[in-house]
Structure 1
Amino acid sequence: VELASLAPSAFNLQPWRLIAVRSPEGRERLWRLAQQQPKVLEAPVTLIVVGDRGAWQGDNPAWGELAAMLGGAEAVKPYLAMAEALYGATTERRIKFAESNAALLAMSVVYAARCFGVEGHFMSGIDFAGIKQEFALDEDEEVVMLLALGYAEGGKVLYPRRKRQSYDELVEEV
C-alpha cells in the first residue's frame, strides 16, 4: 500500500482511502453486500477503495504543504480556485474527481501487490450504498470498488486471460 500511495492524483490531493476488511466478521458483512462473491470470504483481505468527493476543498492538508512549498497561502489561491472550478462545480465533477483518482490508487495497489507475488481482483458488482452505510463512510466519501488480495493457491488460475485489444483496435491517432 505504501508503494501504491505514490500513485498520482490531481494537485496531489490524494482523495482516497482504503478500508482493509480482514476479520471473518468483516468479510461476512462485506460478502453479503458484494453479491456473495466467494473471493470476499476466500481472500485474506479485501480492500474497500474509497474516493472523497470533497477532498479538493481548502481544508485538505495537501494545500498547506503546497503553501509551504510555494512560500505562503496567497500563492495557493489560484490553485484552489482552479480545483474548485474543475472538481467542485457540479456533482458530476465531484464524483469524477473522487472516482478517477481513487481508481489510480487501486490500480497502483494491484501492480505493487504483483511485485510481491500477491494477486488482486477488482469487483464493482456490489451494493455501493449498502457498503457505504455498513462501513460508516463520511457523507462526501463514496465506495469506488472492492479489491480482493491474496496469494494464488498453487498456480490456480480462475479464468484464462481473454483477448485484449491490439494497439490498432485501442488507439485512434489524430
Structure 2
Amino acid sequence: MDTFDAIKERRSVKHYDTNHKLSDDEINKLMSLAVLSPTSFNMQNWRFVLVKDPEIRKQLRAAAWDQAQVTDSSVLIVLCADLKSWKNNPSQYWVNAPKEAQEFLVSAMGPFYEGKDQVQRDEAMRSCGIAAQTIMLAAKSMGYDSNPMIGFDPDKVAEIIKLPQDHIISMLIAVGKQTKPAMPRGGQLSLDKVVFTDKFT
C-alpha cells in the first residue's frame, strides 16, 4: 500500500476477528519495521511486549476497562521504554559509525540525560510515539488494522507483564483484522488552526 494511502486509511479500529492470528513471519516483519523507528542518540529505548497468552490477555483486558480489542485482536503489543537505555552500554548503539562519531555521541549521552528524570521520561514517550505510528502504518500496509490505547491501569499492567525497574509503559496497541470499521472521523481541525509560519500569531 502507498504510504499516503496508509496514512489516510489508518483508523483506530475497535472490533476484530477473534479467529484470526498473525503468523510468526508477519509479526517478525511488523517488529522488524518498528525497530527502524528513529530514537535520540539511536538509543533504541523502546521495548515491545507481544502478548499472546489468552489468560494474560484476559488479565490485561480487566486492567483496561474491559475493552474487547485487548483480547479480540490478533496480537496485543504493550509498548514500553527503558528509561536508562542511555547509560546501558551506550557504545552498542554506534558500533557501525566512524570512530570520531562514536566517541562524540557516546560521550554526549551521559551529560544530556544524567539526573534529568523528566527529560528521560519525555524521551521515552517520544520514542514510543514514533514507534507506535510506525507499527500502525506498517500494519495498515500489511492489510491489518490497529488501535492505540491509553485506557488502562498502568500499575496493574506493569504488574501483569512484570515490567522491569526503570521502565515505563507508553501505550497498548491492538493489531488485527477488523470485523467492523471505525466510526467516521470525528472532524479534523483546519490547517489554519494548527499550522503556523515562523511563530504563533
TM-score of the two chains, using structure 2 as the length reference? 0.77
Identity %: 25
The Cα shift of 1:67 comes to 4.8
Indicate yes or no: 2:126 matched with 1:96: no
2:98 is matched with: 70
Gapped runs of 5+ residues in structure 2?
A: 1-30
- Give 1:126's aligned residue: 152
Contact 1:31 1:37 in 2 (8 A): yes
User: In the alignment, what sits opposite 1:6?
Assistant: 36
C-alpha displacement of 1:49: 0.1
For 1:88 and 1:22, locate their aligned partners in 2 and report how far apart those are by CA, in whole Å: 36
1, 25, 29: which one aligns with 2:55: 25
Going from structure 1 to structure 2, the CA distance change for 1:30 and 1:59 (only over 3 Å counts) comes to same
Matched residue of 1:69: which SS?
Answer: coil
> Which residue matches 2:177?
151
Superposition deviation, residue 80 in structure 1 = 3.2
Q: 1:22 to 1:87 in 2, by over 3 A?
A: same
Q: Which residue of 1 aligns with 2:184?
A: 160
Q: Which runs of 5+ in 1 are unaligned?
A: none
Query: 161-170 or 63-72: which moved more?
Result: 63-72
CA RMSD of aligned residues (A): 1.8
Cα distance in 2 for residues equivalent to 1:68 and 1:98: 24
Relative contact order: is structure 1 or structure 2 higher (C-alpha 8 Å, sep ≥ 6)?
Answer: 2
Question: 3-state SS of the aligned residue for 2:78?
Answer: strand
Distance 1:88 1:96, change over 3 A: farther
Kindly provide the CA deviation profile for residues 31-60 of structure 1, in whole angstroms up to 9, marking residues without a partner as x. Answer: 111111111121121100011110111514
Runs of 4+ in 1 over 4 A off after TM superposition: none
Offset of residue 119 of structure 1: 0.4
Tell whether the 8 Å contact from 1:46 to 1:147 is kept in structure 2 after alignment.
yes
